[in-house]
Structure 1
């Protein structure tokens, strides 16, 4: 099962309802992804995961938050493995 299919998914979407739980703020996205807000803002600039309101507020599509290709970065700490279980509901809007 794939979370999002890029071949049929049009970005940016034509109809955007920011009341839909699919859309989260930068702060909420940072909490979900367990990263700093600056990282989420960088992802929003580099990846097709965000839309901006005319007032300049950034909204992140939680379905795309983990499905976009990560940028190439060197692994300076060797093999890192987390024993933390995945959190339920992160990838699915309910």
Structure 2
């Protein structure tokens, strides 16, 4: 019996297959993660490896920054939402 009946599962469920419009830098990051986009970013969410939301940033511009100084060193998933959809990437915190 198949695991699923043709439905797509995983990261592609939340990430549109479009050319990325959001750039995040630097990566690895120290205390401040900056972002720049060709589209207006409405919000940015940071998740830990367990998929728990640990930081939320309400945005309303094409560029800005996010203070991640309180996060312990490790690997995180950052999701940014634009009119094109939600884009996710892996962030390494020093």
TM-score with structure 1 setting the length: 0.21
TM-score with structure 2 setting the length: 0.21
Q: Which has the higher strand share?
A: 2
Q: Which has the higher helix share?
A: 1
